[in-house]
Amino acid sequence: MGIDVGAVRADTPAVADLVHLNNAGSSLPPVPVMDAMVGHLRLEAQVGGYEAAERAEARVEGFYTAVARLVGARPEEIAFVESATRAWEAGFGSVRLEAGDRVLTTTSEYPSNALGLVKAARERGVRVEVVPDGPDGVVDLEALERELGRGGVRLVALNHMPTHNGLVNPVQEVGALCRAAGALFLLDACQSVGQWDLDVERLGCDLLTGTGRKYLRGPRGTGFLYARAGADLVEPAVVDVSSAHWVGEGGYRVRADGRRFESFERSVAGQIGLGVAVDYAVALGLERIRERVGALAEYARDRLGQVAGVRVLDRGPVRSGIVTFAVQGVPAEHVRARLVGAGVNVSVARVWNQVWEAKVGVDEAVRASVHYFNTEEEVEVLVRELKERAA
């Protein structure tokens, strides 16, 4: 049995007047998520922020259970943070790195993560090395295995699904190679969490980062970090009264669980909302979501490929719900503006920002990212608008 599209659209009132194809940027939260967040904000206004948090303790704790179930972890291995980027920074910053240590990544790494890697190379003497793509566009597993075999690799850091095209990296195979070589594996899953079924043991990762606003359909300003219990990590770069405790005068002890990466101050409403969003996705079934999103994305690629002047740019033998394309002779931002004016939300993928990846002939691409609440009819609206633009 597949997803009841009518039911999930009823939980997404905006789709009555809007074609939202920007789910890889920020999706539309379902009604239960909004109700949970607004309800808590009202409670804060009625009784005070600290008092509301005390009353909502069970729902806050439910966040850790929900995310642990989502990724196959234990609740004590989960931290709530304000974004996937902050989660990545915290995870990467806890890796024990010394001058000369090698860090391997992929050509399609997210620009923010790449900046963090380059910064570590400049400040700590780490050797950041980019593993080439294979002929099918994803990270070359044979090349990765060779580099791991050379020794000295402390960390492999890559993304599951790049943000600027539809390819899906073979992360389970990457995880197996890392474990065999004794290297830590940091996986950025900000585009795949909520879209694919993830299991940290199956993936073999030591650190995994995710965001709430994309395919989980949670609130902006929310994310999480999974840190494997027992992984060889140093204490976080930043500690506060939530992540550490005083031990006598001038001493402190950092928490042993995942919450050592958290800050005392956070959006309680956001944390509750993200927990509800996770529960919503799990109840629908991640495999059903993956099947629905994948089928709709392939339908979109097929239809877009039939439009004169439109070139689909996605790569890889397995592809995600992210569909990217270029319109001949028309800047991507102009295409986006035209579509937004017609009630179709898309975004622009800035290909020029991918410093390590081979160029694809365009600096920017239009990105139409589908979700399970989208329909084939909405894809046809996109296609019709592009045909009119071309004409």
**Which tens digit of pLDDT belongs to each residue from 191-209?**
999 999 999 999 999 999 9
Q: Is the pLDDT of residue 268 over 70?
A: yes
Going by pLDDT thresholds of 50, 70 and 90, the confidence category of residue 357 is: confident
Q: Are residues 107 and 201 in the same domain?
A: yes
Domains held by the chain: number: 2
Q: Are residues 16 and 38 in the same domain?
A: no
Task: Report, as an integer, the average pLDDT of 362-390.
Answer: 94
Return the number of other C-beta atoms located less than 10 Å from residue 63's C-beta: 25
Q: Which of 61, 90, 94 is nearest to 75 (CA)?
A: 61
Q: Are residues 193 and 128 in the same domain?
A: yes
Task: Report, as an integer, the average pLDDT of 66-73.
Answer: 98
Q: Are residues 246 and 272 in the same domain?
A: yes
Q: Can you give the residue range of the structural domain that contains 37? A: 32-283
Show which of 261, 283, 305 is a domain's final residue. Answer: 283
Q: Are residues 179 and 290 in the same domain?
A: no
Furthest CA-CA distance within the chain: 75
Q: Are residues 258 and 295 in the same domain?
A: no
217 three-state secondary structure: coil
Instruction: List the CATH number of the domain containing 216.
Output: 3.40.640.10
Q: Are residues 266 and 358 in the same domain?
A: no
Q: Are residues 184 and 315 in the same domain?
A: no
Q: Is the pLDDT of residue 137 over 80?
A: yes
As a whole number, the mean pLDDT across the chain is 95
Q: Are residues 21 and 42 in the same domain?
A: no
Show which of 234, 259, 283 is a domain's final residue. Answer: 283
Q: Is the pLDDT of residue 359 over 80?
A: no
Tokens describing residue 281? 């996705």
Show which of 283, 303, 336 is a domain's final residue. Answer: 283
Looking up tokens 């970090």, which residue turns up? 225
- Give the residue with greater pLDDT, 245 vs 79: 79
Q: Is the pLDDT of residue 358 over 90?
A: no
Q: Are residues 14 and 61 in the same domain?
A: no
Q: Are residues 9 and 106 in the same domain?
A: no
Instruction: List the CATH number of the domain containing 355.
Output: 3.90.1150.10
Which amino acid, 9?
A: R
pLDDT score, position 391: 62
Q: How far apart are CA 67 and CA 35, in angstroms?
A: 19
Q: Are residues 117 and 186 in the same domain?
A: yes
On the CB side of 131, how many CA atoms lie within 13 Å of its CA?
28
Using DSSP bridges, classify how beta strands 153-159 and 102-106 pair: parallel, antiparallel or unpaired. Answer: parallel
